[in-house]
A and B are shown apart, each in its own frame.
Chain A
Amino acid sequence: MRYARLNAEMELRAIEKRLVEIIVNLGYLKGRSRRTSKILAYLVIHNKVTQKMLREAAGYSLGTVSTTLKELRQLGLIRESLDPEGRERLYELVVPLSQQLAYYSVAMNRYFHEWKEFLEQLESELRKNHVAKKKGAEEIRHFINKMRVVISITTDAMGRLQFTKPEIQREVADK
């Protein structure tokens, strides 16, 4: 019985290790370092963690863990609180995994809106007489047009998938 439990525990740890590896690889696609993604992976899996837990699980020094947590806080991805039962600090994702899809769907709309405004602002800067014919202006115009096409492609694809409706409801309901 005890042996079976030990086996199951070892297997679960192996699965955890592989899951961390997948999250690290997905983080790489977002331009995150291995160290940052690994710490994030443990936050995704364990919800709330202490620096000590992260040191043991990820195998980094306390200094590295502390620096990485600081960077993640600066990026707005995690928050810190004080453990009410102890004196240690707890770290958790600002947007839990269960809400990330819903969060990003809403954020994407805001993001595209800000892009559209920004492109308009760039266009008006380019229209100014002393800038319009400067070297590089053509490249910036090309960039503006390209981004407009890209935004239109993305919003159309999202609309067709109804990305912002049933999936969000399902995610929120599941939570």
Chain B
Amino acid sequence: MIAKIARDNLKGFDREIREIEKEIVTFFKEKGAEFGGKDPIFMTILAYFYVRERLTQQDLQDLSGFSAGTVSKVLRQLVGINVITKGIIPGTHKHLYTMDQPSVVFSQFFLPAGKILSKYEDELRQTKAHLIAHASEMRRIKGFSGMLVAVTLLQRSVHLASTLIAEMKEEAKKQVKK
């Protein structure tokens, strides 16, 4: 009975609004898969953060119907890539997860986070230089040309992605000032 009341009144949203929220979650999930090949479970949890901003693991289990293990795995992932932050609810031992920068997070529908990207950009640049320097010995080995093409294109994509994210951060700062 208590569980039923809790589920009917999930963080105070009325039934009609819950239906709208479900539409939002479905949109995130479907468009994330269609445009970015994103994992549907990941997108579901992300969508709830966009709407609710602050959630506990239990809130997410109730809202999504996913198991504790599944929710916990996605939360670790989102914290790990700086999409949400983990804090403690004062006076309790419960963790509260918060999304602070929706604009930066949004860019990750297509492109991942800037700092992490620049690390890979450097490594890809070095790998490419290494492949070119040793081309005479490696050229005839199966997979060499494919790897050179992959490194070149990945490096370029990563560079563009991190530039775009930097631009978005600048734009977000301007919007906050306005």
Contact = CB atoms under 8 A, between A and B. Distances in A.
Partners in one complex: yes
Interface of A: 4-5, 7-9, 11-12, 15-16, 18-19, 22-23, 25-26, 28-33, 36, 44-47, 75-77, 97-98, 100-101, 104, 107-108, 110-111, 114-115, 118, 122, 125-126, 130-131, 134-137, 139-140, 143, 146-147, 149-154, 156-158, 160-161, 163, 167, 171
Contacts of A46: 143, 146
Interface of chain B: mostly helix, strand, loop or mixed = helix
B167 A139 contact: no
A130 B143 contact: no
Interface residues of B, number: 72
A134 B17 contact: yes
Contacts of A29: 81, 108, 112-113, 116
B21 to A, nearest CB: 7
Interface of chain A: mostly helix, strand, loop or mixed = helix
Contacts of A137: 17
A97 B21 CA distance: 35
A150 B106 contact: yes
Contacts of B124: 22
Interface of B: 11-14, 16-18, 20-21, 23-24, 27, 31, 33-39, 41-43, 46, 50-52, 74, 77, 80-81, 102-103, 106-110, 112-113, 116, 120, 123-124, 127, 130-131, 134, 137-138, 141, 143-144, 146-147, 149-151, 153-154, 156-158, 160, 163-164, 167-168, 170-172, 175
Given A31-B38, A156-B171, A157-B167, 17 more contacts: A15-B131, A18-B127, A23-B154, A31-B39, A31-B43, A32-B39, A45-B147, A75-B37, A111-B35, A115-B31, A122-B23, A134-B13, A136-B14, A136-B18, A147-B106, A153-B103, A157-B171
